[in-house]
């Protein structure tokens, strides 16, 4: 070991000690993923939790998402810097349904918002 290596590492166990340093659990970036589990058909390659026969539950699902987000906000949910709607096929929801969920999520003014879409369902 070169003479200054110990100083750079903070001692003979410096590198190991760094593994146990306190973690910063409040990073600047905070991403939110909203899973929309509804599909018009099941793709062969898909292993995600999705339903093809429950579109009648979409309104109830949106209500549940909004309710859960409001609960999380009361418990200190941070402002999102990115929001991703995935699934499933989020584009099966109406614009109003997506907006209800999006409006409930606290976010920064520059938050990136992405909605995964199937061109056939958009």
3-state secondary structure of 90: helix
**Taking Cα atoms as reference points, which of 67, 73, 78, 76 lies closest to residue 101?**
67
Give me the pLDDT at residue 24, please.
54
Give me the pLDDT at residue 38, please.
92
pTM higher than 0.85: no
Is the C-alpha dihedral spanning 66, 71, 74, 78 positive or negative? negative
| H helices present in 10-105, as ranges | 14-19, 58-74, 95-104
Are 121 and 98 within 8 A, CB to CB? no
**Taking Cα atoms as reference points, which of 51, 64, 63 lies closest to residue 92?**
51
- How buried is 93 (Cβ within 10 angstroms: 0-12 exposed, 13-18 middle, 19+ buried)? buried
Are 86 and 116 within 8 A, CB to CB? yes
Give me the pLDDT at residue 64, please.
96
Give me the pLDDT at residue 60, please.
96
The structure tokens listed for 118 are 């199937």
Are 88 and 50 within 8 A, CB to CB? yes
From the first residue on, what is the mean pLDDT of each consecutive set of 10 residues in the chain (122 residues)?
Answer: 53 55 64 92 84 91 96 92 92 95 95 86 57
């Amino acid at each position: 070991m070169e003479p200054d290596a110990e100083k750079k590492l903070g001692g003979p166990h410096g590198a190991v000690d760094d593994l146990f340093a306190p973690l910063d659990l409040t990073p600047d970036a905070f991403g939110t993923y909203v899973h929309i589990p509804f599909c018009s058909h099941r793709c062969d390659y898909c292993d995600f939790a999705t339903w093809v026969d429950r579109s009648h539950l979409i309104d109830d699902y949106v209500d549940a998402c909004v309710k859960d987000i409001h609960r999380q906000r009361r418990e200190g949910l941070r402002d999102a810097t990115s929001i991703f709607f995935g699934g499933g096929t989020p584009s099966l929801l109406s614009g109003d349904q997506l907006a209800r969920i999006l409006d409930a999520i606290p976010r920064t003014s520059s938050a990136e918002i992405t909605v995964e879409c199937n061109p056939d369902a958009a």
